[in-house]
Each structure stands twice: as C-alpha cells, then as structure tokens.
C-alpha cells in the first residue's frame, strides 16, 4: 500500500510537469491550429538559457524563471511574425513541417555552441533534499515543480475562462468568422498567443534544468511524449492536455515500478488504446470526416 501511494505521488508530480509542458502545445493548437513541432526545442532552449544566465551573469534559478519565460515569449513572437504567420492559411501540415525545420536548426545550433554533454545546474537553495512523510519520500524540488505547474495550469485556465482577453481568444478559436462580425480583431491575438505558448515551453525548460540532463537533445524524445499527451487528451483541449499529462505521469511512474524498461512503451500503448476507443482523444471534439 505504501508503495502504491509512493508511486502515485511520484506519478502526480511528474504528471504536473507534463501537464505544464503540454499546455503551451495545446494553447497554440487551439488558437492557431498549428502543431508546434519545435515545442521540444523551445523547452530545450529554456533550460539551456537558464544555465547560460547562471554562467555568464550569475543569475540564479529565481531570476531565470521570469527572465527566460519573457525571453522565450519574445522568441515566440518573432517566430510567429517571421515564419509561422505565412503558412497559417494553408494546411496545418505545412506549419508542422516548418516547425520541424526550425527544430533541426535550433538543436544543431545549440550543439555547435555548447556541445553534446550535459550542462550542470543546481537545485535552487531551500528546495534540496527530500521530504519524508512516514514511510513515504518525495524530492522537495519535485514537489515544488508539481505544485508550481498546477498553479500555472490553473492560472492559464482562469485567464482563458474568466477574463475578457480569454473570452475573446476562445471566441476567435471557436468561430473566427462570427467573432470578426462582432467586431473582434481576431488577427491581433494570434501573435501574443503563439508567444505565450512558446513562453510556457521555456518556463517548463527552466523548471526542468535542475532535475533533467540539460543538453541539445533533451527536447527530442520529450516532444514525442508531449505529442502522445495531447493526442490522449484531445488536441487543442487545454483540460485534456492537463488530465492526460497527469495520466501519462502516473503510467510512467507505475511502469517504472512494475514494468521497468517497458515504461516508455506503456505511454504509447495507452495512446493506442485511446485512439482505438476514442479517436478524438479524451476531451477532443470529433473532426468532420
């Protein structure tokens, strides 16, 4: 029983992190209809930026968290303005391919500049060590990451459902034509939303820096797991991304405990089951044939 609770805790804490990482992907798809392949690369850039800020300017974790997020927002805005924008009217496959090209460039640029070995990054002061609750044990930093992730997910959800901006963005997603007829400048929100999604990827990267190996390839396998998360949750569904994030975290934790090396495969088995039973994902809308 203790082991069961232990794995559940472990799974929930990884799950929170997955939810946050997939959130940006879901937001960008929901509003722009773009599957951002470079999400993993942007996550990697966030983590690398955190280590570089520490090395060059001596800025620690707490300074890097807002600063990198802001930088990645600017990066996302530039990416949308310069590249993604031109393909928005075409089949979404083109932007998928475009962002794949961007991924190749970003990963190899970082590889050339910083090499392939992992860059070290310390767990911020005050969050080291583990918390012991009776026979249960959880890394203090892991706990922080999951609580922080849940708070960010909640904040994004509130922003989208309870504020005027959120309402406009949701209306534009739901029915761009009618929103325009009601006097909403739909195009105005496209760039900031894309930047916001990329900023979330960067934020996840900074959070990952202390507990994952920071190198140019850190986003390569991660993006595929995130794709599995959003396919399970239903593409474009924010709630779906969050729920599926936790689900995948749990599957991974229990997989590591009981199926060892099969844990990575289990995620895709879960995805296959979801596609088989509910092709549109847990919270997705059925697409028109």
Partner 1 sequence: MSQQLTQKVDVELPAQSVIPRARPALRWLMLAVGLVVVLALPWFVYPPVAMDIAAWALFAISVDLLLGYTGLLSFGHAAFWGASAYSTGLIAIKLGMPFPVAVVGGAVVAMLLAIPTGYLAVRRTGIYFAMVTLAFAQMLYFLANMWGDVTGGENGLQGIPKAFFGVELVETDAFYFYYAAIPIILIGVFIAWRIVNSPFGRVLVAIRDNPARARALGYDVERYKIMVFVLSAGLAGLAGGVFSISHGFASLQELVWTTSGKVVLVTVLGGIGTLWGGPIGAAVVVLLEDRLASSGFNGIGIITGTIFIVIVLAFRHGIWGTARNGLTSWLNRRRIKTGQRL
CB 35 within 8 A of CB 235: yes
**In the complex, what is the shortest distance from the CB of residue 252 to partner 1, in angstroms, rounded to a whole number?**
12
DSSP label of 85: G
Candidates 1, 181, 182, 276: give the one binding partner 1 (CB under 8 A). Answer: 276
The answer to whether 261 contacts partner 1 (rule: CB under 8 A) is yes
Rounded to whole angstroms, how far apart are CA atoms 258 and 177? 51
The answer to whether 111 contacts partner 1 (rule: CB under 8 A) is yes
The residue (of 111 and 130) whose beta carbon lies closer to partner 1 is 111
The answer to whether 86 contacts partner 1 (rule: CB under 8 A) is yes
Tokens 């620690």 belong to: 60
The answer to whether 262 contacts partner 1 (rule: CB under 8 A) is yes
Q: Which residues have a Cβ under 8 Å from the Cβ of 191 and sit 6 or more positions away? A: 77, 80, 81, 85
The residue (of 91 and 128) whose beta carbon lies closer to partner 1 is 91
Q: Which stretch binds partner 1 (CB under 8 A): 56-64, 88-96, 149-157, 160-168?
A: 88-96
Rounded to whole angstroms, how far apart are CA atoms 204 and 44? 9
The answer to whether 177 contacts partner 1 (rule: CB under 8 A) is no
**In the complex, what is the shortest distance from the CB of residue 57 to partner 1, in angstroms, rounded to a whole number?**
26
| Tokens read off for 56 | 């060059």
The answer to whether 231 contacts partner 1 (rule: CB under 8 A) is yes
Rounded to whole angstroms, how far apart are CA atoms 6 and 254? 10
**In the complex, what is the shortest distance from the CB of residue 93 to partner 1, in angstroms, rounded to a whole number?**
5
CB 271 within 8 A of CB 232: yes
Candidates 101, 126, 129, 187: give the one binding partner 1 (CB under 8 A). Answer: 101
The answer to whether 107 contacts partner 1 (rule: CB under 8 A) is yes
Residue ranges in the chain assigned as alpha helix (H): 2-32, 39-57, 61-82, 92-114, 140-162, 164-174, 176-181, 190-208, 218-233, 238-258, 263-277
Candidates 70, 224, 257, 282: give the one binding partner 1 (CB under 8 A). Answer: 224
Task: Give me the helix-helix angle, 2-32 and 39-57, nearest 10°.
Answer: 100
Which residues from 7-66 bind partner 1, rule CB under 8 A? Answer: 35
* Binding-site ranges for partner 1 (CB under 8 A): 35, 83, 86-87, 89-94, 96-98, 100-105, 107-109, 111-112, 220-221, 224, 227-228, 230-231, 235, 261-262, 264-265, 268-269, 271-272, 275-276, 279, 287, 289
């Amino acid at each position: 029983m203790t082991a069961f609770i232990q794995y559940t805790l472990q799974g929930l804490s990884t799950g929170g992190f997955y939810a946050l990482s997939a959130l940006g992907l879901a937001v960008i798809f929901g509003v722009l209809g773009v599957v951002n392949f470079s999400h993993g690369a942007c996550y990697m850039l966030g983590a690398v930026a955190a280590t570089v800020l520490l090395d060059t300017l001596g800025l620690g974790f707490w300074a890097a968290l807002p600063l990198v997020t802001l930088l990645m927002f600017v990066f996302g805005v530039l990416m949308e303005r310069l590249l993604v924008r031109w393909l928005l009217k075409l089949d979404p496959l083109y932007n998928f391919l475009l962002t794949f090209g961007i991924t190749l460039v970003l990963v190899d640029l970082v590889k050339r500049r910083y090499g392939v070995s992992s860059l070290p990054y310390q767990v911020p002061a005050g969050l080291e060590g583990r918390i012991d609750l009776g026979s249960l044990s959880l890394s203090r930093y892991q706990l922080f990451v999951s609580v922080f992730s849940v708070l960010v997910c909640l904040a994004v959800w509130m922003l989208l459902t309870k504020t005027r901006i959120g309402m406009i963005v949701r209306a534009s997603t739901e029915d761009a034509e009618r929103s325009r007829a009601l006097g909403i400048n739909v195009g105005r929100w496209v760039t900031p939303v894309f930047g916001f999604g990329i900023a979330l990827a960067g934020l996840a990267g900074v959070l990952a820096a202390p507990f994952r190996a920071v190198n140019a390839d850190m986003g390569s396998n991660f993006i595929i797991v995130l794709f599995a998360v959003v396919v399970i949750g239903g593409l474009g569904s924010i709630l779906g991304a969050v729920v599926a994030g936790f689900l995948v975290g749990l599957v991974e934790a229990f997989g590591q405990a009981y199926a060892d090396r099969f844990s990575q495969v289990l995620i895709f088995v879960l995805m296959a089951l979801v596609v088989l039973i509910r092709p549109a994902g847990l919270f997705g809308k059925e697409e028109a044939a």
